[in-house]
Structure 1
Amino acid sequence: MAAGGKSQLVALLLAFFVGGLGIHRFYLGYTWQGVVQLLTLGGCGIWSLIDFIRIILGDLQPKNGPYDKTL
């Protein structure tokens, strides 16, 4: 099942540029985790870095299924 047109590249760029705000989590459909990241500034950057690596590896997928477009 498609994840509604989610791109791994877009998620990666969001995590890189605004990862501390958790925008990539909102994009991937994880609203609650996005709010927590927003309030903690991405866990002082640690959580954002981990998410960035997980997106590169393909471990962090959209909530509704796999990416439509991968790296």
Structure 2
Amino acid sequence: MTAEQVSDKKILPAFLMCFFLGMFGIHRFYVGKIGTGILQIVTLGGLGIWALIDWIMLMCGAFTDKQGNKLTEWT
């Protein structure tokens, strides 16, 4: 069993970007997910639903960066 990798990205900046600019996928650019960030811009965050799901995942500590490492630290 391998230990889970931890991202160097912080939850608080991603959380705030998702809350205020989630429709534009800015938080996904922050964690390195460029492709899905562009998709969120085009679909306006999946009409807000995709952004809401990301926001909930950030609050629960389940959001990952491009390499699949969980964001675990708030600051």
TM over 0.5: yes
Per the alignment, residue 13 of structure 2 pairs with: 10
Quote the sequence identity (%): 41
**1:30 aligned partner, one-letter code:** K
Per chain length, whose mean CA-contact separation is higher, i.e. which structure has more relative contact order (CA < 8 Å, sep 6+)?
1
Specify the structure having the higher radius of gyration (Cα). Answer: 2
- The CA RMSD over aligned residues, in Å, is 1.8
Higher helix share: 1
Query: How far did residue 67 of structure 1 move?
Result: 3.1
Among 19, 22, 35, which residue is 1:19 paired with? 22
Structure-2 separation of matches of 1:67 and 1:40: 25
User: TM-score normalised to the size of structure 2?
Assistant: 0.81
Structure-1 separation of matches of 2:46 and 2:18: 13
- 1:1-71 to 2 correspondences below 5 Å: 3=7, 5-64=8-67, 65-67=69-71, 69-70=73-74
Equivalent pairs counted in the alignment come to 70
The answer for unaligned runs of 5 or more in structure 2 is none
